[in-house]
Chain A
């Protein structure tokens, strides 16, 4: 017994301990596993892309010892955070295709796009990171508000004709509102307008539809505020009809027939106060050339007369009566017609197009709102009743360069010489069969810094064939109103075009 306890048990214990030191050689078969390789030859440099433009990367994948068909792809996008206190980066999956081809809607900045290729048979992963710099791409061009069914979106177009600025390349960015906000604009579209004051931070875009209004950044088209956030009063009715940054620096909105205004270059203060007090119901048009003391020349459709606010915080008042010694061509205080359109024309005068309430009379009233009210603002009353197809005219525009205005029926555009012969000539009749005009705008960028040579010399026309919309870029003679028969450009892929607005950068930083 003594022998067992002294020799046998310690020996067995030692064997047990030593067994742990035995090397496990195993009995395995080893197979070499291939590794996919993302070849960045020719595609590895940083990508400088304009916001809303498509980022395209087509990597070459080699997979020696493996099957490329078994690979699953994932493209991630996240901001490049250089400051460790900036917070957590939000990572978005932007594609699961091998070839990346997606619009980049991120705000201006530097980002990383990462491709991860995963072998679905063994979950082996490889990745490659690309640098992407998103820049502003909407400084110059036109914005097209167009709709399909009950919602609308915005396309941005830049052409060499409209933007003869070095370094600005032609482009057509589609659906930038939905790309920015994640959804289209609800309600029937009404207007899109730029609000830009050079040398300030005021660079905003206002979009109005039935029941909605939105302000977008003019630098990157991000949503700044919408609907009631644009009004000081919580009980504001949202029914925007027209918006304009007037020549006097006041921003004016016609909303539900009422005039709302502000003047500021600070976005947080750019809110619409309660409507200008008074008994009126406005036609949805604004006079760009309004003098400081006029505030805003508008037309009261309810009482058939022009009116204006007494001040930015005052009530709506009539224009003063003409002096006895003056016999104006018409009385701003007693028009009595239905307004069809209002636009800024030659000499910064306001051109107001009217139809008689009864009968077939059509009129162009020219007013100089760009001076203090002395009772002598009416310039001329031009009888348009005898012009060809005037009774079917639906769209009107005034040239700022010469004594000519345009009007358009469903398919034809006429140039109206109101100063001389008081006649109109057919200026364009070249739209393909089946297309009808839905919008017509002379290119009038405001401010027109860098663009003065082309201001007024291009006409944009939106058409609709029942299925899809087009935008025609036409060469306009701003002095005669004649239009080249061959379009400069034709853009397709729209819904029904509701409005077209120029977009100008102005001068100074923002």
Chain B
């Protein structure tokens, strides 16, 4: 009987100890946060923390554009739209608020976990020959705090600058279709075609590679530019003139 009592007591003690293994699970408190969520399309969806923008492809009449940076929330989705907004990090930011850019409210739509943080970029005269940079972070709002530190800074750079294409002059070159280079002419080409670079097919005996422009394609672009230049000159006085005081023409 003594043995039975000993075994029984031992088992009871063991059960008591086992209760100590039960994990104490605390209740979840939602703490909405948001972080930058720009990702590449590679297999690992690697992080993107920098983007650039050029006004070159836009018509000259366009003086501002809104750049959207993708963001993602931490915490539960909400059944209502929530506000997200950026703020500048003064260190290493060269753009001036109100002159080069403005923050406006973005929205995480109801029941969504991603949205966009908008930054309004201005096409100012001083970025025609330089670029400006904005380092930005998530600004606290009534709806969100900044999220994970790995994604709490984003860099944006923009300009309205042109650089003479390397293939403008030479044996097989853009000069055959566009004539003499000037920045005014090149800006007109970009504004009309929406194209910045014109890599040329190097030989008609070799099939054009992806992205290459054949002689026929360039001839059609030249014809388009001539029509566009005529339309511009018909509606402007004086005619389009380059930085050297020469009238813009195409061969």
A-to-B contact residues, CB < 8 Å: 1, 5, 232-233, 262-264, 266, 268-269, 271, 273-274, 277, 312-313
Instruction: Verify A273–B219 contact, CB threshold 8 A.
Output: yes
Contact for A273 among B1, B4, B208, B216, CB less than 8 A: B216
Contact for B207 among A232, A268, A271, A312, CB less than 8 A: A268
Q: How many residues of B contact A (CB 8 A)?
A: 11
Cβ-closest chain B residue relative to A1? B1
Question: Does B143 reach chain A (CB closer than 8 Å)?
Answer: no
Instruction: Verify A269–B219 contact, CB threshold 8 A.
Output: no
Q: How far is the CB of B117 from chain A (nearest CB, A)?
A: 32
Question: Does B224 reach chain A (CB closer than 8 Å)?
Answer: yes
Instruction: Verify B216–A262 contact, CB threshold 8 A.
Output: yes
Contact for B220 among A5, A263, A268, A274, CB less than 8 A: A274
B-to-A contact residues, CB < 8 Å: 1, 4, 207-208, 214, 216-217, 219-220, 223-224
Q: A266-B207, A268-B208, A269-B214 are contacts. A233–B220 as well, Cβ < 8 Å?
A: yes
Q: Contacts of B224 on A, CB cut-off 8 Å?
A: 233, 274
Instruction: Verify A269–B217 contact, CB threshold 8 A.
Output: yes
Q: Contacts of B219 on A, CB cut-off 8 Å?
A: 273, 312-313
Q: List 19 A-B contacts (CB under 8 A).
A: A1-B1, A5-B4, A232-B217, A233-B220, A233-B224, A262-B216, A263-B216, A266-B207, A266-B214, A268-B208, A269-B214, A269-B217, A273-B219, A273-B220, A274-B220, A277-B223, A312-B219, A313-B219, A313-B223
The CA-CA distance from A266 to B203 in the complex, in Å, is: 12
Q: How far is the CB of A10 from chain B (nearest CB, A)?
A: 15
5 pairs of A and B residues whose beta carbons are closest in the complex: A273-B220, A313-B219, A269-B214, A232-B220, A266-B207
Q: How far is the CB of B164 from chain A (nearest CB, A)?
A: 25
Q: Contacts of B214 on A, CB cut-off 8 Å?
A: 264, 266, 269
Q: Contacts of B208 on A, CB cut-off 8 Å?
A: 266, 268-269
The CA-CA distance from A273 to B216 in the complex, in Å, is: 8
The CA-CA distance from A277 to B230 in the complex, in Å, is: 14
Cβ-closest chain B residue relative to A268? B208
Cβ-closest chain B residue relative to A265? B207
Cβ-closest chain B residue relative to A270? B216
Q: Contacts of B223 on A, CB cut-off 8 Å?
A: 273-274, 277, 313
Interface centre among A264, A269, A312, A313 (most CB of B within 10 A): A269
Q: In terms of DSSP, what is the predominant structure of the interface of chain B?
A: helix
The CA-CA distance from A273 to B208 in the complex, in Å, is: 17
Q: How far is the CB of B87 from chain A (nearest CB, A)?
A: 40
The CA-CA distance from A5 to B217 in the complex, in Å, is: 99
Q: Contacts of B220 on A, CB cut-off 8 Å?
A: 232-233, 273-274
Q: How far is the CB of A509 from chain B (nearest CB, A)?
A: 15
Q: How far is the CB of A191 from chain B (nearest CB, A)?
A: 23
The CA-CA distance from A313 to B214 in the complex, in Å, is: 14
The CA-CA distance from A55 to B28 in the complex, in Å, is: 64
The CA-CA distance from A274 to B223 in the complex, in Å, is: 8
Q: How far is the CB of A117 from chain B (nearest CB, A)?
A: 42
Q: A274-B223, A313-B223 are contacts. A269–B1 as well, Cβ < 8 Å?
A: no
**Additional A-B contact list (12), CB under 8 Å, known A233-B220, A266-B208, A273-B219:** A1-B1, A262-B216, A264-B216, A266-B207, A266-B214, A269-B208, A269-B216, A271-B217, A273-B223, A274-B224, A313-B219, A313-B223
Q: Contacts of A313 on B, CB cut-off 8 Å?
A: 219, 223
Cβ-closest chain A residue relative to B210? A268
The CA-CA distance from A274 to B225 in the complex, in Å, is: 12
Q: Contacts of A5 on B, CB cut-off 8 Å?
A: 4
Q: Contacts of B217 on A, CB cut-off 8 Å?
A: 232, 269, 271
The CA-CA distance from A268 to B219 in the complex, in Å, is: 16
Q: Contacts of B4 on A, CB cut-off 8 Å?
A: 5
Q: How far is the CB of B85 from chain A (nearest CB, A)?
A: 37
The CA-CA distance from A232 to B215 in the complex, in Å, is: 13
Cβ-closest chain A residue relative to B219? A313
The CA-CA distance from A11 to B151 in the complex, in Å, is: 67
Cβ-closest chain B residue relative to A272? B220
Q: How far is the CB of A29 from chain B (nearest CB, A)?
A: 50
The CA-CA distance from A413 to B233 in the complex, in Å, is: 58
Q: How far is the CB of A319 from chain B (nearest CB, A)?
A: 23
Q: Contacts of B207 on A, CB cut-off 8 Å?
A: 266, 268
Q: How far is the CB of A100 from chain B (nearest CB, A)?
A: 40
The CA-CA distance from A210 to B118 in the complex, in Å, is: 45
Q: How far is the CB of B155 from chain A (nearest CB, A)?
A: 34
The CA-CA distance from A268 to B1 in the complex, in Å, is: 97
Interface centre among B207, B216, B217 (most CB of A within 10 A): B216
The CA-CA distance from A232 to B193 in the complex, in Å, is: 12
Q: How far is the CB of A84 from chain B (nearest CB, A)?
A: 19
Q: Contacts of A277 on B, CB cut-off 8 Å?
A: 223
The CA-CA distance from A420 to B152 in the complex, in Å, is: 92
The CA-CA distance from A274 to B217 in the complex, in Å, is: 10
Q: Contacts of A268 on B, CB cut-off 8 Å?
A: 207-208
Cβ-closest chain B residue relative to A262? B216
The CA-CA distance from A313 to B223 in the complex, in Å, is: 8
Q: How far is the CB of B98 from chain A (nearest CB, A)?
A: 37
Q: How far is the CB of B2 from chain A (nearest CB, A)?
A: 11
Q: How far is the CB of B120 from chain A (nearest CB, A)?
A: 29
Cβ-closest chain A residue relative to B222? A313
Q: Contacts of A233 on B, CB cut-off 8 Å?
A: 220, 224
Q: How far is the CB of B223 from chain A (nearest CB, A)?
A: 6
The CA-CA distance from A189 to B249 in the complex, in Å, is: 43
The CA-CA distance from A277 to B223 in the complex, in Å, is: 9
The CA-CA distance from A313 to B224 in the complex, in Å, is: 12
Q: Contacts of A273 on B, CB cut-off 8 Å?
A: 216, 219-220, 223
The CA-CA distance from A271 to B219 in the complex, in Å, is: 12
The CA-CA distance from A262 to B204 in the complex, in Å, is: 14
Q: How far is the CB of A436 from chain B (nearest CB, A)?
A: 43
